[in-house]
Amino acid sequence: MTVGIVVQTAAHDMTDMVVGRIVAGIGNGGNTATAPVWHVETSHQSAKGSAVVKEMAVNVLGFVISNVITLAFSGLMTEAQWRFPLGIQLIFCVVILVMIPMLPESPLWLVARKRDVDAKHVLRMLNDGDVEEEYEQIRTSVKAEQAAQSSWSQLFHGGLATRRVLLGMVLQVAQQLSGINVLAYYLPVVLHRSVGLPEFTARLVAVSNAVSFWLSTSASILFVEKVGRRKLLMVGAAVMAVAFLGVSTGVGLGLTTPESHGPGIAATAFIWLYFTTFSSGWISVPWLYPAEVNSLKFRTKGAALATACDWLFNYVVVQTTPPGIHHLKWGLYLIYALLNATFVPLVYYLVVETQGRSLEQTDRWFEKNPGWLVHRADHSVNAGLNGSVGGRMRAMGVAEDHEAMMDEFELTADDDDSSTPSSPVTRRSSYHSNG
């Protein structure tokens, strides 16, 4: 990503710019696929959501900074108008490069590679209490996963693996089709061309909206682990549908009565409602969900596919918005109102609740609930999850003929003598929600 930014900032023609964008895009894609997985695997089960929301809050803070820079440099007519906004990204790349060596590896990742000593050390840094029970749960889960074969082809053979990966992919697609980047990328254009605000006023309103967006995203840390994924997504999609309907109506009335300021004010208010609602759940859950819903052996692959879907449909939305504003006018916003309305039944019938569950509990829930339709399933935290740690392999459906393989894994894991890392990290107890 750093290399790509340098190439873009120093670009002298369109070829340089395209190459820089591709290189930076590969790096950014890797970051966005990895960070949520790492957050989920290193956070306590009661704080996975708040950890990812904190990540999204920092992300939106960057959105605020970009809007301020856009406003500040919009009046320039020199190369600094675009070179400085591109180059300033290097500051954040340096921060990332400096911070990464301080972060511990995921305990799940370490156990999967038979580095049990390192895994226990990381768990002790992340927890205040005894870590043996959690370590045994992770170890048993990893053994069960490694007893079965794992390949990319398994993701497309149907069954639980396909279902779980598709759930993460669908939510990432839905996040983009909710219309966030119609407004986030083009809000000054929307306010200027569709709502009728003067260009400078439109940019100023965009900055104010970005600050509000960041504050509401940060505030969602207080309730993301209390409300539940399904409820946040369904209520959010319903309100966002109403918001886009209001934008569509305001823009349409503004076109028929250009002398009136009322429709433009109403459309702006509904845009604010959309951003506030989106920040309460849809900004974080689709990024969190692929890491929560996939089994250990497919978690990285599932998160990668979901992230690829997000960026693919990001591209589709961003490319279709300008011609949509020009040709469809108010109809463009009506399309996104209808899309958001369809997400309510989609979540209700298909999306599994993962709030408050450990990754191992989610594995067991899917084994006990193999059907695609989940509207009648028990989504409580401990639904159908009785049984001791020793019985976890039976609940996960591991065949008896794999026991020898798992015993062999146990013996080799016990012989591991990996060195103990020393990384300054925040204890998991500090992540716990107040509820």
Six token digits for residue 48 = 């996975």
The ranges assigned to domains in the chain are 2-103+152-356, 112-147+360-431
Sequence letter at residue 218: S
pTM of the model: 0.73
pLDDT tens digits for the chain (435 residues)?
Answer: 899 999 999 988 899 899 999 999 888 888 877 887 787 778 776 666 677 788 888 888 988 998 898 888 888 888 888 888 889 889 989 988 898 888 888 888 888 888 888 888 888 888 777 778 778 878 877 776 666 556 777 777 777 888 889 999 999 999 999 999 998 888 888 888 777 788 888 888 889 989 999 998 888 888 877 888 899 999 999 999 999 999 999 999 988 887 788 888 898 899 999 999 999 889 988 988 888 888 877 877 888 899 899 989 999 999 999 999 889 999 999 999 999 999 999 999 999 888 877 777 888 888 888 888 888 877 776 655 554 333 333 333 333 333 443 444 444 444 444 443 433 333 443 333 333
pLDDT for 420 equals 39
Query: In sequence order, which ranges of 43-88 are alpha helices (DSSP H)?
Result: 48-73, 80-87
Place of tokens 């639980």: 160
Distance CA 379, CA 361 (A): 12
Six token digits for residue 12 = 């002298």
Distance CA 142, CA 112 (A): 6
Query: In sequence order, which ranges of 260-329 are alpha helices (DSSP H)?
Result: 262-278, 285-293, 296-327
Residues 6+ apart with CB under 8 A from 426: none
Residue whose C-alpha is closest to residue 346's, from 270, 294, 282:
282
Q: What is the CA radius of gyration of the chain?
A: 24
**CATH architecture of residue range(s) 2-103+152-356:** Up-down Bundle (1.20)
